[in-house]
Amino acid sequence: MTIKIWKHFPREDLYECYQCARCTGSCPAMEVAPAYGPRETILKCLNLGHDKVVEDEKVWLCCTCNVCEDRCPQKIPISDLLVALRNSAARRGNIPTRLSMALELLAKTGRSMIVHQLDEMRAHHGLSPLPAAPVEELRDILKKTGRDEVIEF
Amino acid sequence: MRYALYLGCAIPIKYPGFEAATRLVCERVGIELVDLPFSCCPPPTSMKLVHYDSWLALAARNLCLAEEAGLDLLTLCSGCVNTLKEANHILKQSDSKRRKVNRILEDHKHQFNGTIKVTHILDVLYQDSVVERLLKERVRDVPLRIGCHYGCHYFRPPKIMYPQELSDAESYVPVSMDHLLSIIGVEPVEYSRKFLCCGSPLGANMDQDAGYEITRQKLGHIRDRNIQALSVVCPSCFEQFDMGQIVLGRKTKEKEKIPTFYLTQLIGLALGLSSKDVGLDVHRVKAKKLLESIEVA
C-alpha cells in the first residue's frame, strides 16, 4: 500500500531548491549521523524519484526540529516533505522498531509512555492516580483512520 | 482564569513532579485547572511521521474535549503544544480534513468546531496579569545563571506556533522564558545553539548514541558560558539533559553535571515551595548543592 506523496507536498516546490545547503548545514542530525540531510533528500526525489528515498532507513535520521524549513531562503515546506516521505516509508514496512513499539503502546494504553508503580510514584508527589485513557474509543478511531493497515500488532 | 489542563504522557507518567509543581504554582497565581479524559496528543515525532491521518484524528479528539468544556487548552510540553496547535490550525483551515475527521469522531459524539485556543504553560505564566500576580506572591529570588532551552517544537514552525510574532524573514525565536525567569532573580544567560535540538527525537526513534552526541555538543556550549543550571518547558528535553548527562558521563567521565529544572519548579521555589514540593528529589542530576548555595531548601 502506498500513499500519493504529491498530494501532501507540492511536487513543483522541489524545483524551487537551488541546492544552497543551508538546510543541511543547520541540520543537527546531519552533524552526528551520516545521512542525506534535507538538501540531498530533495535532490534524490528529483533525480531518482521518491520511491528510492523511502526505501532507505536513513530517511528516519531526522530530529523533526524544523530548522531546515525555518532557514530555507526559498521557503520550501521541507517539513511537510519529510513527513510525507516517512508516512510513505512506513507503508512499505520501512519503520524503525523503536517507533513501531511506541505506537503499539499508544494503541494499547492510549498513552506513549509506561512505568511500573505509577500510582506510588504519583502519590510521592502528592498526586492522585492517573485515570485510564479511553482505549476502546481510541482503538476505534485508529481503525477508522486506517492505522491498522499500516502497522500490525 | 480557567483552562483545560492537558498533561500529555511523559509528565504525568515519567515526571509527575512537574505536574505537582505546575498545579501548585497555578493555584498560587489564581489559574484554575480542569482535568478532562484526554489521550496521548500524539507526538509530532512519532504518530505524525508514521500515520498522519491517525495523528490528526487523535489530536482532534483531544481538541474536541476542550471545546465541549468551553475551555482553552493548556499544555505542559513542547511536543503536545506543537501537535495540538498545528492540528487546531489545520482543522480550522481545511474543510476537507475537518469533514473527514468529523465523520470518524461523530461515532463517539465529538465534533470539531474550532472554538478554542491551544496554549502552553510558559505563555500562560508570561501574561501581564499573571506576571503581576507572580511579583506579588514571590517570597524569594533564585539568583542562578540559567540557560533556557525552549525545545524546537515549542516555537517551530513559527508560522503556525507564533504567527503574530514573525520577523521580516518570517522567522521567530522566543524570549518569554528568559524574561519570566528574570523576574524571580534568575540571570538568563545566552549560549551558542540555544535554539537547536536537544537530541531527544533522534535518540527515541533511531539512534540513541547520535541523539546523545547532539546533547553532548550542546552541553559543551552551555559549559562555555559558565551556566549553572538549565530551564526547560518539555519533558523530553528534560530527560535528554538529565538522564543524558548520566549516560554521557559513563563515556566522557565529566564529573561536573548541570542540573535541569522544569520551568514551574523554578517559579515554585520563588513562591516559597520546597524542593520536595516541586519534585526536585527525583532528578538524576541533583540540584541540592546548587540550591544550598543560594539558601533554598
Per DSSP, the three-state class of B36 is: coil
What is the percent of chain B where pLDDT is above 90? Answer: 94
What pLDDT shows up at residue B173? 95
Which chain A residues are closer than 8 Å to B206 by Cβ? 33, 60-61, 96, 98
Above 70 in pLDDT, residue A21? yes
Q: Cell numbers for B45, please give them.
A: 515525532
- Backbone phi, then psi, for B284, in 5-degree steps? -75, -45
Which residue is associated with the grid cell 541540592? Answer: B288
Rounded to two decimals, the ipTM of the complex is 0.95
Q: Return the pLDDT at B289.
A: 95
Question: Among B174, B203, B256, B241, which Cα is nearest to B45's?
Answer: B203
Answer yes or no: is pLDDT of B271 > 80.
Answer: yes
Highest mean pLDDT among A89-103, A135-149, B98-112: B98-112
A86 contacts chain B (CB < 8 A): yes
pLDDT band at B66 (very low <50, low <70, confident <90, very high): very high
Predicted pLDDT of residue A34: 83
Whether the predicted pLDDT of B278 surpasses 80: yes
pLDDT(A153) > 70: no
**B254 pLDDT exceeds 90?**
no
Q: Residue A150 has what pLDDT?
A: 75
Over range B22-41, report the average pLDDT: 97
Which domains occur in chain B, in start order?
2-121 (1.20.1050.140), 140-293 (3.40.50.11810)
Min Cα distance B25 → chain A (Å) is 14
Nearest CA in chain B to A86: B49
Tell me whether residues A33 and B51 touch, CB distance under 8 A.
no
Indicate the pLDDT class of residue B218, thresholds 50, 70 and 90: very high
- The confidence score (pLDDT) of residue B83 equals 98
- Average pLDDT of chain A to the nearest whole number: 91
Domains of chain A: 5-91 (1.10.1060.10), 97-150 (no CATH)
**B7, B38 contact by CB (below 8 A):** yes
Per-residue pLDDT of B119-148, as tens digits, reads 999 999 999 999 999 999 999 999 999 999
Order of strands, sheet of B118-120, starting from the edge strand that comes earlier in the sequence: B32-35, B2-6, B72-75, B118-120
Torsion of CA B64, B69, B70, B75, to 10 degrees: -70
Return mean pLDDT, chain B.
Answer: 96
Using the Cβ of A2 and the Cβ atoms of chain B, whether some distance falls under 8 Å is answered with no
Nearest residue in chain A measured CA to CA from B216: A32
Question: Which pLDDT belongs to residue A152?
Answer: 62
| pLDDT value of residue A9 | 84
Q: Which of B215, B231, B234, B73 lies closest to B152 in space, CA to CA?
A: B234
* Per-residue pLDDT at B211 exceeds 60: yes
As a three-state string, the secondary structure of chain A is CCCCHHHCCCHHHHHHCCCCCHHHHHCHHHHHCCCCHHHHHHHHHHHCCHHHHHHCHHHHCCCCCCHHHHHCCCCCCHHHHHHHHHHHHHHCCCCCHHHHHHHHHHHHHCCCCCCCCHHHHHHHCCCCCCCCCCHHHHHHHHHHHCHHHHCCC
Interchain CB contact of A110 with B (< 8 Å): yes
